[in-house]
Chains A and B, each alone.
Chain A
Amino acid sequence: GQQLNQSPQSMFIQEGEDVSMNCTSSSIFNTWLWYKQDPGEGPVLLIALYKAGELTSNGRLTAQFGITRKDSFLNISASIPSDVGIYFCAVPNSGGSNYKLTFGKGTLLTVNP
C-alpha cells in the first residue's frame, strides 16, 4: 500500500526558532493534509492543500503542496511552547476510495521555553 515518509521523527528546539518538517511519497496525490495533536487530545486539522504548488498559511504555520505532487512541507515560524505536540501529514488513499486517509508516522515537536 501507499506510504508516507515523514521527517524528522522528532525535534527539540528553543522557543523562537523556526521549524521545518516534510512528508514524501513515491505516489502522486491531489490532496495533502496537515494535522496537529496536542498531548492527550485528538488531532486537529491545521492546513489542507488541494493544488500542486499551493502555499497556504495559517498564522505562524505555512504549508506547501510540492510541485511534483509527491511531497509537502510544513513550516512553523517563531515557535512558542504551545506548539508542542505531534504533527501528522496525511493523504487520501489512492486506488478508488477517498474514504480513507494514509497518515505519516508523525513529527514529535518539543519546544524549550
Chain B
Amino acid sequence: SQTIHQWPATLVQPVGSPLSLECTVEGTSNPNLYWYRQAAGRGLQLLFYSIGIDQISSEVPQNLSASRPQDRQFILSSKKLLLSDSGFYLCAWSGQGSRTDTQYFGPGTRLTVL
C-alpha cells in the first residue's frame, strides 16, 4: 500500500530564515505530487504541483519554491521566510493512469514564523 510522509511535523522559524519541508511517497512510482497551504484551519490553497521529476508548476506567485530531486520526493523551500508564510503545509499525491483525480494527503507540517 501507498504511504506519504512529511517532516518535520512542526516548525518554528524566525522571519528571514530559510525553510525546507520534505515530503516522500512510498509504494507507488511516478506519482503526481502537490503542496498545499492551509491558513486558519480552513481552505486549501494549491501552491505547487509536479507531474514528473522535471515538471513543477507554480500556482501562486510567492516567497516559496518547490523541487523534486527524486521521483517520490517533493521539497518546499524558501530563502527568507515572511510572517505571512505561517500556516499548515500539506503534501499530497495522486497516481498515474485513470484515477489521477483522487489525491491522498500527508499528515502536514505546522509552520510558525515569528
B-contacting residues of A (Cβ < 8 Å)?
31, 33, 35, 39-45, 48, 86, 88, 90, 92, 98-101, 103, 105-106, 108
Contact = CB atoms under 8 A, between A and B. Distances in A.
Contacts of B100: 98-99
B101 A31 contact: yes
Contacts of B103: 45, 90, 101
A48 B51 contact: no
Interface size class of B (residues with CB under 8 A): 20 to 34
Given A98-B100, A98-B101, A99-B51, 16 more contacts: A31-B102, A33-B102, A35-B105, A40-B110, A41-B108, A42-B6, A42-B90, A42-B105, A42-B108, A92-B101, A100-B34, A101-B101, A103-B44, A105-B42, A106-B42, A106-B43
B49 interface: yes
A92 B101 CA distance: 6
A31 B43 CA distance: 20
Contacts of B41: 39, 86, 108
4 closest A-B pairs by beta carbon, nearest first, are A42-B105, A92-B101, A42-B108, A103-B44
Contacts of A98: 100-101
Contact of A45 (B43, B51, B102): B102
Contacts of B44: 43, 88, 103
A42 B106 contact: yes
A41 B107 contact: yes
